[in-house]
């Protein structure tokens, strides 16, 4: 467990199954009331160069609940980036003000670059279309809470698989746990071939489908739905071609079976009908709330407050 102290959290590609278990079990301990005050005396920088509700605010709340202090910005327009300061110079400066930093940035690789110049742990809170590791940690924690296991699960991963950083991270994690996966997307938003060939090289088989109903005979445990992300499309017409193309409703649950649990990293636009929210199948708000113990656990581990 002590291997986390001082560590950067950039990509699921850097993580082992033991690392993921450590985070999930520690988050469970935090939720049970252990590790209180694990960030006492620690100061966390929260640097959001891109909009966020859940990730930023749950990190802030996690720090405050664990007795630490948090500072930063939600709008890079209020920072000296506006005056032309380079990203690297900003990070070199802020590293002297904190014990760990959480960074969201629209550019892939920004968190990795930050970790190369920072002298404190850097946590990637989402870098462009690349990775969103802490979303995956809370997803795994929620799945474990719901099913009591992380192995032997069947999961449909659906939506914007091309630009979706949450599903890129989640796919790496579910592959480590040997999940049976089906990727469901419009043809233009398929999972990147580099990720699919990585699965094949590891001998991990997967399925593809056009609609969740196409996977009905798999008896999925989880349908993980994602938004078509307007902000990631360079060409507005490409977005218009796929926007509003699917909607999960009660009929989808009937087709997939009552066992299926519906997850979503949120925010949603119109891809899950509100009628699903009150079904026992919907666990996406629990998922969002689990961001707190998961991020308390992670921050405690990387700052050494939990060892
Ligand atoms: N799931 C997620 O990353 O949500 P936010 O963009 O609101 O942080």
DSSP assignment of 167-234, as one string? HHHHHHHHHHTT-EEEEE--GGGPPPHHHHHHHHHTT--EEEESSGGGGGGG--SEEEE----GGG-S
Ligand 1 pocket check for 207: Cβ under 6 Å: no
- pLDDT value, residue 240: 83
Using pLDDT thresholds of 50, 70 and 90, give the confidence band for residue 301.
very high
d(CA 236, CA 137) in angstroms, rounded, equals: 32
Whether domain 12-131+291-303 has CATH 3.40.50.720 = no
Ligand 1: centre distance to CA 217 (Å): 31
Unique residue bearing structure tokens 């720090």: 63
Which atom of ligand 1 is the closest one to the Cα of 104? 8
Ligand 1: centre distance to CA 44 (Å): 19
Tell me the chain's radius of gyration from C-alpha atoms. 19
Q: What is the pLDDT of residues 184-216, one digit of tens each?
A: 999 989 999 999 999 999 999 899 999 999 999
Using pLDDT thresholds of 50, 70 and 90, give the confidence band for residue 231.
confident
- pLDDT value, residue 243: 80
Residues 6+ apart with CB under 8 A from 50: 104, 105, 106, 126
- pLDDT value, residue 171: 98
Residue-range domain boundaries for the chain: 12-131+291-303, 133-288
* Paired residues of 280 in beta bridges: none
pLDDT above 60 for 295:
yes
Ligand 1: centre distance to CA 300 (Å): 21
Q: In the numeric block, which tokens belong to residue 89? A: 């110079």
Ligand 1: centre distance to CA 64 (Å): 19
- pLDDT value, residue 111: 98
Mean pLDDT of the 120-130 span: 97
d(CA 272, CA 258) in angstroms, rounded, equals: 16
Q: What is the pLDDT of residues 40-77, one digit of tens each?
A: 999 999 999 999 999 999 999 999 999 999 999 999 99
- pLDDT value, residue 234: 80
| Residue of 56, 225, 266, 286 to test ligand 1 pocket, by largest number of atoms within 8 Å of CB | 266
- pLDDT value, residue 241: 81
Q: Which residue has the least CA distance to atom 1 on ligand 1?
A: 265
Mean pLDDT of the 254-265 span: 98
- Choose which CATH entry (3.40.720.10, 3.40.50.1370, 3.90.1310.10, 3.20.20.70) describes domain 133-288: 3.40.50.1370
Q: In the numeric block, which tokens belong to residue 178? A: 């040997």
Q: Which residue has the least CA distance to atom 4 on ligand 1?
A: 54
Instruction: From 68, 78, 74, 90, select the one nearest 125 (Cα to Cα).
Output: 74
Helix boundaries (H) for the chain: 17-31, 54-65, 87-94, 110-117, 133-147, 165-176, 193-201, 236-242, 250-256, 284-289, 291-303
Quote the pTM value: 0.96
- pLDDT value, residue 166: 98
Ligand 1 pocket check for 54: Cβ under 6 Å: yes
- pLDDT value, residue 25: 98
- pLDDT value, residue 104: 98
pLDDT above 80 for 1:
no
Ligand 1: centre distance to CA 164 (Å): 12
- pLDDT value, residue 211: 94
* Paired residues of 223 in beta bridges: 156, 262
Q: In the numeric block, which tokens belong to residue 75? A: 């709008």
Ligand 1 pocket check for 226: Cβ under 6 Å: no
Mean pLDDT of the 275-286 span: 98
Residues with a known catalytic role: 54-55, 83, 104, 132
């Amino acid at each position: 467990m002590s291997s986390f102290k001082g560590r950067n959290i950039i990509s699921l590609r850097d993580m082992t199954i033991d690392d993921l278990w450590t985070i999930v079990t520690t988050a469970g301990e935090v939720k049970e009331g252990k590790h209180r005050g694990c960030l006492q005396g620690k100061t966390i920088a929260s640097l959001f160069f891109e909009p966020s509700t859940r990730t930023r605010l749950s990190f802030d709340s996690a720090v405050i609940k664990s007795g630490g202090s948090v500072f930063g910005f939600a709008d890079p327009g209020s920072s000296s980036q506006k005056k032309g300061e380079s990203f690297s110079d900003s990070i070199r400066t802020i590293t002297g003000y904190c014990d760990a930093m959480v960074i969201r940035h629209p550019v892939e690789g920004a968190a990795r670059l930050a970790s190369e110049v920072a002298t404190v742990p850097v946590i990637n809170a989402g870098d462009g279309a690349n990775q969103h590791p802490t979303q995956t940690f809370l997803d795994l924690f929620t799945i474990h809470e719901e099913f009591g296991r992380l192995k032997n699960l069947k999961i449909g991963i659906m939506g914007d698989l091309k630009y979706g950083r949450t599903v890129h991270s989640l796919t790496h994690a579910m592959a480590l746990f040997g999940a049976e996966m089906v990727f469901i997307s419009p043809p233009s938003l398929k999972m990147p071939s580099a990720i699919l060939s990585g699965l094949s090289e590891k001998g991990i088989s997967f399925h593809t489908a056009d609609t969740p109903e196409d996977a009905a005979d798999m008896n999925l445990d989880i349908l993980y739905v994602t938004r078509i992300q307007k902000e990631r499309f360079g060409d507005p017409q490409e977005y218009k071609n796929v926007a509003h193309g699917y909607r999960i409703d009660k009929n989808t649950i009937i087709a997939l079976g009552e066992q299926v649990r519906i997850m979503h990293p949120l925010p949603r636009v119109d891809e899950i009908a509100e009628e699903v929210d009150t079904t026992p199948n919907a666990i996406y708000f629990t998922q969002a709330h689990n961001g707190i113990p998961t991020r308390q656990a992670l921050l405690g581990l990387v700052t050494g407050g939990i060892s």
